Amino acid sequence: MGRPDKTNSVPARRRRSQGSIWAILVFFLPAVVAGAQEKPFTIKADAQLVLETVIVKDKEGKPVEGLKQRDFVITEDGLRQSVQICEFQKLEDAPLPPVHPRSIASPDVAPISKIGQNYFSAGRVGEVKYRDRRLLVLYFDLMTMMSDADKYRTYTAGRKFIQTQMASQDLIAIMVFSKGAVRALMDFSDDREKLDQAIQTLEKKKQKGDDDDDDFNAPDTAAAFGQNSGEFNLFNTDRQLAALQTAVKMLGVLSERKSLVYFASGLRLNGMDNQAQLRATINAAIRANVVLYPVDSRGLTAEAPLGDATRPSPGGIGMFTGASAMGRLTSFLQSQDTLYTLAADTGGKAMLDYNDLSSGIVNAQQAITSYYILGYYTTNTETDGKYRRIKIELADGQSAKLEYRQGYYAAKKFSKFTTADKERQLEEALMLGDPITDLTIGMEVNYFKLNSAEYFVPVTVKIPGSELILAKNTGSDRTLIDFIGEVRDEYGSAYSNLRDKVSFKLKGETANALMKSPIEFDCGFTLLPGKYIIKMLARDAETGRIGTYQTTFTIPNLMKENKRVPISSVVLSGQRVDMRNALFTAGKDKAQVANPLVLEGLKLIPSVTRVFSKKNEMHVYFQAYENSAITTEPIIAYVTFFRGQAKTFETSAVAVTEGLQAKSKAVPVRFTIALDKLPPGEYNCQVSILDPNGKKAAFWQAPVMLVE
């Protein structure tokens, strides 16, 4: 009595065979044991399966075959693991004869069926679905390709590889990011004619009567990607990186090594980019066993230093000092930095400044040789999200070169905790090297001089109100958004921190309005000049979803600025709110005393996303500093809107002759601009500041978007 019935118990060996699911990195295996007849009970055990792909080469660079489980020694964080799975994938390439697939326009060739497949299916339990095959993914990021020439080059490269460079063991899948969604056009296949037709489908322009979903080249209408709000997507690379993260997660169901060739016209960086999203995308690729091979679709570019004949001369002193040419070159190089990082951190290679784009696919093809799939059940079952370092060697002193993933981030489990557990969870999430990006979050950091040494740094966090829909669907009346943040200096030392929470009502008219508009939260820090890293987390306490934003920023020492007019950050805003309204602020009574964005009881709310409605006005605010002045010296400023290099609008010059603040030596400058007469679209907003007496000037530019 009271002893388990042996006929209902699950042997350990059987549990392992049931757990041999070919899911990449981690798989949770429940085992239920029936209890005694009088009082049944349940025992739950979790087994986490970790898979590694290992390329083993001899001294001559040839793959080593015939190795068994006993030939490999795997340690995780210094602890030896028991190898449970050892599968050899043998790749022996044979050249294929060139083919010339028929045009998709031919009446006897049907186009690809309705594009709706957005996932890849895994093989059956305990088997490798694509044994002895090389898996290549052609991923077309049409959101970054602004010109038809870039798209034509990528399509031509893909078709060239399929028609003339595919090998006998290659399987190719085609994916596309277009109009705010990631879609799989074709599962892994070696049917070259169908693959070619799939790329021709991308080239197809929408005709009258066609479904809108079939036109991949249609301009984006700011549709939401995932749960993002449209205005969050227009100017930062988070959208492309989040889409790429989705793509590699879709591929993660396959245990085999995958190479994803990422076609994009660079990733244009700006001050609003979230570095946490970049790290999360790279970590997702590593977990899914996906190696990224970015290809710059622009090919080899050669631009005139001041631009070609398609645009007017930039003008200004910069064209004589070289500043304009250097600015154009820097902007171009920055657009390639993220591509290089994606490749380097996942073990791939970036193809930049090269006209034969198909070479990027060939690089991905040649990088995958015969390899082993090894699997083990980790002895560390904690779901803490921390990094686990892996080391793989050959047993008995065997000598060979091994290429494998050096480690992985463990899964993160965010379930219902006690109050103390929730607080610890948030603090640990702040320290994780693998950022959590379940919640969409945007942030803007500004700086204003308080005195000769200190600067006030207001930080504005923006979250789409639609992110609370999931919490509302749980039936809750209210939810809390927890905020935690930290500022570190360039040496990694913690300089300042923040902890706050805000409660939101999820029912009634107020909640309905909240779902349609962003949530703004702001806080402030007092810092000295220098380079800093700020990391901010927001958590929906109802659903446990966390969003992370991390960026670097620099506070210049404006007391040493002699060549230009020293100015603060320039804040663009679409609204001013009464401080008596429900504005969610950390340390409201304390921090707002020195906040220059508060004037006469009204607070200027930074736009963050820099998307403005033509129905509203745009507010422009900054401070110019006259460090040695006793009384206000005249400052002249004006705001200009450019489309490309063409000037479309300019305000009247404003002369500021009073308002010098004794302590900070700041002269506030404000503009209120009506936007109703400007057509919708993307502009460059430039603020020009002139000091007639000191014969100095300063210029500031940022992209903005006007919508109806």
CB 74: neighbour CB atoms within 10 A? 21
DSSP structural state of residue 412:
B
Q: By C-alpha distance, which of 70, 64, 57 is closest to 88?
A: 64
Most confident stretch, 13-22, 505-514, 551-560, 640-649:
551-560
> Pairing relation of β-strands 401-403 and 407-409?
unpaired
Lowest mean pLDDT among 216-230, 502-516, 543-557: 216-230
Task: Look at residues 654, 482, 490, 698 and name the one whose alpha carbon lies nearest to residue 584.
Answer: 482
**Alpha-carbon distance 616 to 147, whole Å?**
32
Helix (H) or strand (E) holding 475: none
CATH topology of domain 418-556: Immunoglobulin-like (2.60.40)
Could you tell me the pLDDT band of residue 319, with boundaries at 50, 70 and 90? low
What's the pLDDT score for residue 509?
Answer: 65
Q: What is the mean pLDDT of residues 466-488?
A: 78
Q: Which of 274, 298, 279 is nearest to 342 (CA)?
A: 279
Query: What are the backbone angles phi and psi of residue 636, rounded to the nearest 5°?
Result: -110, 135
**What is the third-level CATH fold of 565-708?**
Immunoglobulin-like (2.60.40)
The pLDDT of residue 577:
80
Confidence band for 6, pLDDT divided at 50, 70 and 90: very low
Work out the average pLDDT over 515-527: 83
272 in Cβ contact with 461 (< 8 Å) = no
Question: What value does the mean pLDDT take over residues 7-13?
Answer: 37
User: 3-class SS at 46?
Assistant: coil
Assess whether pLDDT exceeds 80 at residue 442.
yes
Phi, psi of 122 (to 5 degrees): -85, 165
Tell me how far apart the alpha carbons of residues 174 and 261 are, in angstroms, rounded to a whole number.
Answer: 10
pLDDT digit string, tens, across residues 69-106: 999 999 999 999 999 889 888 887 777 777 766 554 44
Q: Tell me which of 14 and 2 has the higher pLDDT.
A: 2
Q: Report the distance separating Cα 265 and Cα 76, nearest Å.
A: 39
Judge whether residue 56 has pLDDT over 80: yes
pLDDT reported for residue 33: 32
Give residue 85's pLDDT: 87
The pTM of this model reads: 0.62
More confident call, 202 vs 578: 202
pLDDT band at 11 (very low <50, low <70, confident <90, very high): very low
> What's the CA gap between 569 and 448, in Å, rounded?
7
For the chain, percent of residues with pLDDT exceeding 90 = 24
In the structure encoding, which two tokens stand for residue 605, read together?
């709310």
- What is the per-residue pLDDT for 29? 31
Q: Quote the tokens at residue 700.
A: 């500031």
pLDDT of residue 78: 92
Give the pLDDT mean for 487-508: 83
DSSP bridge pairs for 575? 605
Does position 505 have pLDDT exceeding 80, yes or no?
A: no
- Quick one: how many helices (H) and strands (E) in the chain? 12, 33
The residue among 619 and 435 whose pLDDT is bigger is: 619
Above 50 in pLDDT, residue 587?
Answer: no
Q: What is the pLDDT of residue 259?
A: 92
Rounded mean pLDDT of the chain? 78
Q: Residue 270 — pLDDT band, cuts 50, 70, 90?
A: low
Tokens 């460090």 belong to residue: 627
Determine the Cα–Cα distance for residues 114 and 14; give it in Å rounded to an integer: 42
**C-beta atoms surrounding 32 within 10 Å:** 11
Q: How many CA atoms within 13 Å lie on the side-chain side of 301? A: 19
Cα 155 to chain centroid distance, Å, stands at 25
- Residue span(s) of the chain under CATH 3.40.50.410 come to 134-368
- Which one, of 396, 345, 406, 431, lies nearest residue 76 by Cα? 406
Q: What is the mean pLDDT of residues 283-310?
A: 80
pLDDT tens-place string over residues 659-696:
899 889 999 999 999 998 899 988 999 999 999 988 89
Interaxial angle between packed helices 275-287 and 238-251, expressed in degrees from 0 to 180 and rounded to the nearest 10: 10
Lowest average pLDDT, out of 300-314, 390-404, 611-625, goes to: 300-314
pLDDT (tens digit per residue) in 164-173: 889 888 999 9
Sorting pLDDT into bands at 50, 70 and 90, what band is 40? very low
Note the pLDDT tens digit of each residue in 329-386.
777 777 788 888 898 888 888 888 888 888 888 888 888 888 898 989 999 888 777 8
The widest CA-to-CA distance across the chain, in whole angstroms, is 99
Q: Give the end-to-end CA distance of the chain in Å, rounded to a whole number.
A: 76
> 397: how many CB neighbours lie within 10 A of its CB?
6
DSSP 128-196: -TTTT-EEEEEEEETTT--SHHHHHHHHHHHHHIIIII-BTTEEEEEEEEETTEEEEEEEEE--HHHHH
pLDDT band at 650 (very low <50, low <70, confident <90, very high): very high
pLDDT tens-digit profile of 233-255?
A: 544 567 788 889 889 988 888 88
Type of residue numbered 10: V
Q: 20-29, 102-111, 334-343, 570-579: lowest mean pLDDT where? A: 20-29
**pLDDT value for 42:** 41
Mean pLDDT of 608-628: 91
Superfamily of structural domain 134-368: von Willebrand factor, type A domain (3.40.50.410)
User: Cα 93–98–102 angle (5° rounding)?
Assistant: 130
Q: What angle do CA 480, 486, 489 make, to 5 degrees?
A: 170
Whether residue 26 has pLDDT greater than 50:
no
Apex CA 156: angle with CA 153 and CA 162, to 5°?
140
What pLDDT digit, counting tens, does each position of 120-133 carry?
776 664 567 888 88
Residues contacting residue 508 through CB under 8 Å, at least 6 positions apart: none
Q: Residue 549: what are its φ and ψ, rounded to 5°?
A: -130, 130
DSSP lists the bridge partners of residue 459 as: 445, 523
Least confident of 65-74, 112-121, 206-215, 549-558: 206-215
User: What residue spans in the chain does CATH classification 2.60.40.2550 cover?
Assistant: 565-708
With CA atoms as reference, report the closest residue to 435 among 388, 385, 487, 491: 385
Q: How many CB atoms lie within 10 A of CB 13?
A: 8
Assess whether pLDDT exceeds 60 at residue 421: yes
């309204």: which residue's tokens?
581
Provide the residue count of the chain. Answer: 708
